[in-house]
A and B are shown apart, each in its own frame.
Chain A
């Protein structure tokens, strides 16, 4: 019994550590977009995420029930409940080790799937296929894992298109889309709340499973103890708050091109998908759902294309997580099986080494945008968005109409120009004709005048000549008269002299 108590304590400690790292890692997922768009100051975003993760952990217990009463078939392993405790511990070690490896190698991964993979792998080694309920595993873990990013992506695509269409202006005036930054404060809060609702419960489920196996909780009661809820809620909140430093230092340089309207739509889709799934007990990976939303909302922007290479890498990383973590969990379980006394200790040492390595890694001052970007922000790289998107159908119609009007205006101007040109030519011709006529008239007039003047001159000359002739005749006459009178006078004088004598 003392060994069982020790194992339960170890399981709770490791589960809470896992919860802490989950919060530590996933702060970036919840708050990547609001910080990238400048909706929230990083410190405020981190504080808000921590508080809402805490609240979210109290909202529902459906996912916890799936983990504690769904995946593992307790009825098949009822004879050796206490034997199962080291396997839960081994499963947790598998999950932590896989998380650590993917983090160090920069591979996309999901903490939640690492947890389920580790648990299933360890159970398969301990009790064979009869220990796992594959129906629940398929319907509550594997299928939601495959379908939830798709669901979130499709919804994000639809609502992004809607958000852009509803706020689009065709007159070039401000569209007020920066107002989506206010909205992002609420939607990112919803994502943090949803994260608390889904992820904190996974740890609650693991602890509840350990308590049931140790006989400290009634098997028929699926709800976690209140102290378990409090412990998990505060641990995930603490992890979220302390994980914020990475965001403060790195997300300011976020490489993903996320506009406020797009971020708002992506976060709404993420929160809606996680909350709806949590209510039905689906244990999702919030990282995968948020990544699906970021990709879907990116595709919702005009002119965007998928970078299939990057998207494929992300998808392969996700698909590998469950079996790979299962393999690591199975190896940890094998150690427990092969070394009944020391196996647990070896696993504990491995877990401790991994935790110390994780701590040292987190203390290292080598955080850059390249190696510490959140998986969600990185998933945005799977979509290539054009800087100048192509016009919408209505914009195309407007452009066509503008071009038609422009062409009409051009044609009208051209016609007017032609008309003006014609008028100018007519005017010119008329003026030229007038000028010619005038010149002709002038010439005629001048020739007439010349003729007239010549005639006049001739007449004048004639009259002058006549006058001269006349005056000459007169003068001759006068001279003759004078001569005659002078002859007559001499004659008289001589007559008078003769008389005087």
Chain B
């Protein structure tokens, strides 16, 4: 009884998953970075203020919003540069969504 193991399949899974994850996280993080650069620091309060460890309190959320507004005011970029950064941010988010859709299509086609 011989046991054939397709080791290459594991390598393929690792590479495909790594590339997919790097593309999705990379584009999304780049989008956030550009958004911050454009002076639109995202402050996303929790959908529900539960007592989980990482869920911030409404007071902390308000403080973060205030800090974001202050940082946006002090941005050294011109309006044109800010618009460019905002476009780059939306572009990055779009590429992230495309990477996700591409992955799903590949699985369905496969």
Q: Quick one: which of B5, B12, B45 contacts A139, CB cutoff 8 A?
A: B5
Residue of A whose beta carbon sits closest to that of B3? A135
A146 to chain B, nearest CB (A): 10
Cβ contacts under 8 Å, B71 to chain A? 173-174
Q: Does A232 contact B (CB under 8 A)?
A: no
A60 touches which of B24, B51, B108 (Cβ 8 Å): B108
**A186 CB, nearest partner CB in chain B, Å:** 7
B53 adjacent to A175 (CB under 8 Å): no
CB neighbours of B24 from chain A (8 A): 187, 268, 272
- Known pairs A138-B5, A139-B4, A182-B44; A276 contacts B50 (CB<8 A): no
Decide yes or no: A280 and B9 within 8 Å by CB, A35-B52, A167-B29 being known contacts.
yes
B50 touches A35 (CB 8 A): yes
Cα(A464)–Cα(B75), bound, Å: 96
Asked if B54 is at the interface of the complex by the 8 Å CB criterion, the answer is yes
Q: Which residue of A lies closest to B50 (CB)?
A: A252
Decide: B108 and A59 in contact? CB cutoff 8 A. yes
B91 contact set on A, CB distance < 8 A: none
| Residue in B closest to A139 when the chains form the complex, CB atoms | B5
Q: Is the CB of A268 within 8 A of B25?
A: yes
The reply to whether A159 and B3 form a contact with Cβ atoms under 8 Å apart is no
Task: Return the CB mask of A268-310 against B: 1 if under 8 Å, else 0.
Answer: 1100110111111010000000000000000000000000000
B94 touches A (CB below 8 Å): no
* Contact across chains for A276 and B13 when beta carbons are under 8 A apart: yes
Taking CB atoms and an 8 Å cut-off, the chain B residues in 70-90 that contact chain A are: 71
- The answer to whether B62 has its CB under 8 Å from any CB of chain A is no
Does A30 count as interface, using CB distance less than 8 angstroms? no
Greatest chain B CB density within 10 A among A39, A178, A251 is at A178
Interface string of A181-212 (1 = CB under 8 A from B): 11100110010010001000000000000000
B53 touches A256 (CB 8 A): yes
The residues in B between 1 and 44 inclusive whose CB is less than 8 angstroms from any CB of A are 1-6, 9-10, 12-14, 16-18, 20-22, 24-26, 28-30, 32-33, 35-36, 41-44
Q: Are B42 and A179 in contact (CB-based, < 8 A)?
A: yes
- In the bound assembly, the distance between CA atoms of A129 and B24 in angstroms comes to 44
Query: Is the pair B26, A151 in contact by a Cβ cutoff of 8 Å?
Result: no
State the majority secondary structure of interface residues on B.
helix
What interface size band does chain A fall in? 35 or more
Evaluate contact between B52 and A254: CB separation under 8 angstroms. Answer: yes
Q: How far is the CB of B75 from chain A (nearest CB, A)?
A: 9
Interface SS, A side: helix
Nearest CB of A to B17, in Å:
4
* Bound complex: CA A171 to CA B18 (Å): 31
Known interface pairs A143-B10, A151-B14, A268-B24; A166-B33 also in contact (CB < 8 Å): yes
Q: Is residue A318 within 8 Å, beta carbon to beta carbon, of the partner chain? A: no
Interface string of A124-154 (1 = CB under 8 A from B): 0000000000110011000110011001101
B59 at interface, CB cutoff 8 A: no
A162 on interface, CB distance cutoff 8 Å: yes
Check if A178 sits within 8 Å of B64, measured CB to CB. yes
In the complex, which residues of chain A have a beta carbon less than 8 angstroms from the beta carbon of B67? 173-174
Among B10, B18, B43, B47, contact of A44 (Cβ-Cβ < 8 Å):
B47
By a CB distance below 8 angstroms, the chain A residues around B12 are 276, 280
Complex: A227 Cα to B51 Cα, angstroms: 43
* CB-based contact B32/A36 at 8 Å: no
Chain B residues in 8 Å Cβ range of A500 = none
The chain B residue sitting closest to A197, CB to CB, is B107
One of A258-266, A357-365, A432-440 at the interface: A258-266
With beta carbons under 8 angstroms apart, the residue of B53, B56, B104, B107 that contacts A255 is B53
Given A135-B2, A173-B71, A272-B21, A59:B107 Cβ within 8 A: yes
Point out the residue from A59, A138, A139, A181 that lies within 8 Å of B44, measured CB to CB: A181
- Closest CB pairs A-B (n = 4): A38-B46, A179-B42, A252-B50, A166-B29
* 23 chain-A/chain-B pairs, Cβ below 8 angstroms: A37-B54, A38-B46, A39-B47, A135-B2, A139-B5, A159-B21, A159-B25, A163-B29, A174-B36, A179-B44, A252-B50, A253-B50, A253-B51, A256-B53, A257-B54, A261-B29, A265-B21, A272-B16, A273-B17, A275-B104, A276-B16, A280-B9, A282-B13
